[in-house]
Amino acid sequence: MSKRFYITTAIDYVNGQPHLGHAYEKIVADVIARSRRSFGQEVFFLTGLDEHGQKVQQVAVAEGKTPQAYCDDLAPVWKAFIARLGLTNDDFVRTTEVRHKTVVQSILSKLHAEGHFYKAIYRGFYSTKEETFLTDKDRRPDGSFDPSYGDVIELEEENYYFRLKAHQQWLIDYIEKNPDFVCPESRRNEVLGFLKHNVLEDLCITRPANRLNWGIPIPFDPDYVTYVWFDALVNYISVPAALADPVAARAVNYQPSTINYPLSAWPADIHVIGKDILKFHSVYWPIMLKAMGAPLPKQIVVHGWWQKDGEKMSKTTGNVVDPIAVINEWGVDAFRFYVIRELDIGPDGNWTDEGFKARYKAELADALGNLVNRSLSMLKRYRNGVVPSQSNELAADAEKVVTETRSLLEQNQLQSALQTIWSLVTRANQYVDHTAPFKLAKDPTKAARLDEVLYNLAEVCRILAVLLWPFLPETASKIYAQLGLSGAPDKFAAAGWGGLKAGHSIGTPAALFPKKEP
């Protein structure tokens, strides 16, 4: 049983509409997952929902439902959402599932027995919205708390705490010795700065059940439930443990009763997350794992946040992008293309409808779509759709792009990979313009030259399908089908030059990206 390449996303809060930010993160992870599978690696791709906590409890009560019924109603909406994005996740976790709750409790029991927790009274300011205690460090210069914390109340409460101080130095050393642990570098520096300039406060890991009962009960004290983050972060290891991953199961002290799916996934290779939850993933999560005796994830990939038209997206002002509406109008691949092409993993991004339409027109319809359509239409018209003998005029260009794309995908440089792939699209379009096959076709003495040109164009289209598969799976499959090839273009190894054989009959060309009225 070889270890799978294990990739996760943040699990989304169930109480809210799936939005552009959620969609972006999941597509980033999906592109990485698909590319690794295409390289021949076995992959385990996990996403899911974060369902406990005060916010869910409050909304459920307001809607006259139990929190569980509320989550059960919303979970299918989220599952339909990720299906619409074309995700290839292998599992979908809900933190209300027994398999997850059992593992959270098992970890709590283990760490409690080993003396990692203590109980203490804390008096302080509390943000219900963020479900967190605030300190003076969270105050703005004028002494007030940022409105993003919502109503801040004074609270005195006895809770369980996780001892963190002993973990500070090894974590600093670890992040320094492992430059790829937190990516991009700016986020790594942010974590190191935080760890070096602050004394780590112990982490409050419970909430009293009489104030909040929508959470996982603490196994050693029925008066408490688990704090949302000690619950949510655990999903990354609870699912492998439940699927009988030996490393995960050992670390969380849990043996699933039925071993029907022996998985080898832990440690995770990549956690894809947004910048706002960096501290939870790069400070608390590694410390939790270290305390459990589990190997740490290999990499935390941190993406930026999307705005719309230069402003924060907000339902109240109506300044939102509804991914499903965009997909319904333009197709899933246009959406996947725009978010990955527009925003590199790291900085913040800005969605504009004009920008989206401009990329659709220039890069998808006029560049890629036109290349495939005219290449295959000419092959159909001039050679009855039968592939001529192999010619290698564009082989070197294609091979260079294939090598570069692979290397960029291996480094999760998704935006650059798309740019590189488009350099081949541009090259091939220029080749059409320079060789002018429509003129060659009029001159019978140029038949051999026309054969060469048509072969090169069809073969570039085939290679593009393979390169595009992780990004634009529907389009890649359509190109394959139009080329008359069976199966999916899902094996990177097929990107070598010369895959199209002389005498092969292609299928029917059709527009990949229909032009839209302005």
Per CB under 6 A, 322 contacts ligand ME8: no
Query: Nearer to ligand ME8 by C-beta: 10 or 283?
Result: 10
Interacting span for ligand ME8 (CB under 6 A) from 11-19, 115-123, 215-223, 351-359: 11-19
Q: Taking the CB of residue 198, how many other CB atoms lie within 10 A of it?
A: 11
Pick one of 5, 6, 7, 10: the residue that binds ligand ME8 (CB under 6 A).
10
Write the DSSP symbol of residue 319. Answer: B
Per CB under 6 A, 11 contacts ligand ME8: yes
Per CB under 6 A, 242 contacts ligand ME8: no
Interacting span for ligand ME8 (CB under 6 A) from 21-29, 99-107, 152-160, 206-214: 21-29
Query: Nearer to ligand ME8 by C-beta: 305 or 422?
Result: 305
Per CB under 6 A, 274 contacts ligand ME8: yes
Per CB under 6 A, 92 contacts ligand ME8: no
Residue found under tokens 């993406």: 303
- Angstrom distance (rounded) from CA 383 to CA 185: 53
Helices 370-383 and 414-435 cross at an angle (nearest 10°) of: 40
- In sign, the C-alpha dihedral spanning 356, 357, 358, 359 is positive
Residues 6+ apart with CB under 8 A from 44: 4, 5, 6, 7, 90, 91, 240, 263, 265
Pick one of 4, 5, 7, 21: the residue that binds ligand ME8 (CB under 6 A).
21
Token code pair at residue 134? 């605030």
SS3 49: strand
Helix (H), strand (E), coil (C) string for 182-246: EECHHHHHHHHHHHHHCCCCCEECEEECCCCCCCCEECCEEEEEECHHHHHCCHHHHHHHHCCCH
Least spacing, CB of residue 10 vs ligand ME8, in Å: 3
Helix (H), strand (E), coil (C) string for 282-304: HHHHHHHHHHHCCCCCCCEEEEC
Per CB under 6 A, 342 contacts ligand ME8: no
Query: Nearer to ligand ME8 by C-beta: 138 or 366?
Result: 138
- Label the pairing between strands 152-162 and 117-127: antiparallel
Query: Nearer to ligand ME8 by C-beta: 240 or 274?
Result: 274
Per CB under 6 A, 50 contacts ligand ME8: yes
Query: Nearer to ligand ME8 by C-beta: 152 or 232?
Result: 232
Per CB under 6 A, 51 contacts ligand ME8: no
Least spacing, CB of residue 59 vs ligand ME8, in Å: 14
Per CB under 6 A, 203 contacts ligand ME8: no
Cβ 192 vs Cβ 176: under 8 Å: yes
Tell me the per-residue interface mask from 213 to 232 with ligand ME8, x by CB under 6 A, - otherwise. -------------------x
| Contacting ligand ME8 within 299-318 (CB under 6 A) | 305-306, 313
Report in angstroms the alpha-carbon separations of 220 from 117, 172, 225, 438.
11, 32, 10, 79
Pick one of 32, 183, 216, 233: the residue that binds ligand ME8 (CB under 6 A).
233
Per CB under 6 A, 26 contacts ligand ME8: no
Per CB under 6 A, 12 contacts ligand ME8: yes
Pick one of 25, 30, 333, 490: the residue that binds ligand ME8 (CB under 6 A).
25
Query: Nearer to ligand ME8 by C-beta: 313 or 506?
Result: 313
- Angstrom distance (rounded) from CA 370 to CA 367: 6
Cβ 49 vs Cβ 94: under 8 Å: yes
Least spacing, CB of residue 304 vs ligand ME8, in Å: 7
Least spacing, CB of residue 266 vs ligand ME8, in Å: 15
Number of residues this chain uses to bind ligand ME8 (CB under 6 A): 18
Per CB under 6 A, 145 contacts ligand ME8: no
Least spacing, CB of residue 276 vs ligand ME8, in Å: 5
Q: Taking the CB of residue 451, how many other CB atoms lie within 10 A of it?
A: 20
Query: Nearer to ligand ME8 by C-beta: 327 or 401?
Result: 327
Alpha helices in 298-436 (DSSP H): 323-330, 332-342, 353-359, 370-383, 395-410, 414-435
Pick one of 5, 6, 24, 44: the residue that binds ligand ME8 (CB under 6 A).
24
Per CB under 6 A, 360 contacts ligand ME8: no
Per CB under 6 A, 273 contacts ligand ME8: yes
Proportion of the chain in helix, strand, coil states, percent, rounded to 5: 50, 15, 35
Per CB under 6 A, 85 contacts ligand ME8: no
Is the N-terminal amide bond of 267 cis, ω within 30° of 0? yes
Query: Nearer to ligand ME8 by C-beta: 306 or 356?
Result: 306
Q: Taking the CB of residue 268, how many other CB atoms lie within 10 A of it?
A: 24
Which single residue brings its beta carbon nearest to ligand ME8? 274
Query: Nearer to ligand ME8 by C-beta: 77 or 448?
Result: 77
Query: Nearer to ligand ME8 by C-beta: 55 or 380?
Result: 55
- Angstrom distance (rounded) from CA 143 to CA 139: 5
371 burial level (CB within 10 Å; 0-12, 13-18, 19+): buried
Least spacing, CB of residue 346 vs ligand ME8, in Å: 12
Which residues contribute to the site for ligand ME8 (CB under 6 A)? 10-13, 21-22, 24-25, 50, 232-233, 273-274, 276-277, 305-306, 313
